[in-house]
Amino acid sequence: MIKSILIANRGEIAVRIIKASKKLGIKTVQVYSEADKESLAVKLADSSINIGSPIASKSYLNIEVIVNAAKEVNADAIHPGYGFLSENAKFAEAVEQAGLIFIGPNASVISMLGDKVQARILADKVGVPTVPGSNGRLKDISEAVQVATKIGFPIMIKALAGGGGKGIRIVHNREALADTFLQAQNEAKSTFGDGGLYMEKYISKARHIEVQILGDGENFIHFFERECSIQRRRQKVWEEAPAVNLDEKVRAKMCEKALDLVREVKYTGAATVEYIYDDTSEEFYFIETNTRIQVEHPITEMITGVDLVAEMIKIASGIPLSIKQEDVKIKGHAIECRINAEDSDNNFLPSPGKIEKLGIPNSNDVRFDTFIYEGYTIPMFYDSLIGKLIIHGDTRGETISKLRNTLEDLNIEGIKTTIPLHIKLTQNNDVLSGATDTQFLEKLLK
């Protein structure tokens, strides 16, 4: 069993990993930049180590600094959390070469599933439906025109090295394709260091549904699906499990195909297979596989009763999955609201600053994953996510009602947050009926 873990992340996911590790009796070492020395994760971990500059490229994204830190404190393993280096194959390889355990899949699997073209080829091989599009990297504008003409407009141009909703352009007609292609190419090169692009058919009324997986290399289990259709700028805002108004046969097929995909690569750890779902045709299409724990994993934990982070650590320790597929049941409904330090009434203007007061409602059905506390000053250098409010209920209607009441009772003073937006969403008729898609929130905000 792993005895000590270095946490190569920050914020709420670092706190979450510390709590799971403590349950397993594992010691934790928290890395921190100069901006995070007063963070809750530093206070909760058994020990901590300074990795330097508040600039992420010099600290949380610096492979050499983090691996050296792990060796310095004699850690057995590194947990990457989500974001930062969590899906970086070079990081996983460096961890392995240093004689440490990477809590996640091996570098070759990360590389294969992280390459959108290779992942699509793999999906096709095992029979997972894929969105009509280019067969890999587009050579030039001429090929882009040929592919777009074949599959029909509108189309979506994506950066091969993109992620987190970035590096995507939608094109509605042939006249706009050439200029958009060049813009996307330049943007991809400057943002990701790779100007490679590929193309997919754009489904305008799409829902975003994903399946949670755990694998130990030989055994693979799904934990049903989550709905993540309420998004702003392709960033998830509100997630729920199970998905809304989803046919049982479609649910079963989504989960089955996700298992086929991870089984093919003998996956180890937690993974999420993401789909676009077309409500009109009831067809679903593979988007990508995230080779890490997801921000929204708590709602799956709430409806299944399984600690996914603890299971990740046990798998990395070489312990086979003890959970059987038949033991995983959906119990009730759960919703997660991402609470950001942003003014949702003022074009989502960032609002870092000092937490003057913090009041978190206490209930068995309420969970607030966060790293903030009274007196803590949120740094300006990182993502604006400060907490995740997760509510569980017997039914979706009951869960939304509990969520509305809890949001009104959640008191965070000293900064602006997106709580007002979430309260409005709990009162929206389309949200209440489940009639949302990935464009819903953008249209609502306009």
As annotated, the active-site residues are 292
Q: What is the secondary structure of 258-285 as a DSSP string?
A: HHHHHHHTT-EEEEEEEEEEETTTTEEE
Q: What is the secondary structure of 119-182 as a DSSP string?
A: HHHHHHHTT--B-SB-SSS--SHHHHHHHHHHH-SSEEEEETT--TT-SEEEE-SGGGHHHHHH
CA separation for the pair 274, 164 (Å, rounded): 12
CA separation for the pair 347, 351 (Å, rounded): 11
Give the torsion through C-alpha atoms of 433, 435, 440, 444, to 10 deg.
-40
Distances (CA, A) of 141 to 113, 157, 181, 195, 290: 26, 11, 7, 13, 29
366: left (phi over 0), alpha (psi -120 to 50) or beta: beta
Distances (CA, A) of 18 to 8, 316, 386: 12, 16, 17
Sheet bearing 235-241, strands edge to edge: 283-290, 268-278, 206-216, 220-232, 235-241, 333-340, 385-393, 366-370
Q: What DSSP element (H or E) covers 15?
A: helix 11-23
Identify the burial level of 139 via C-beta atoms within 10 angstroms of its C-beta, where 0-12 means exposed, 13-18 middle and 19 or more buried.
exposed
- SS3 state of residue 414: coil
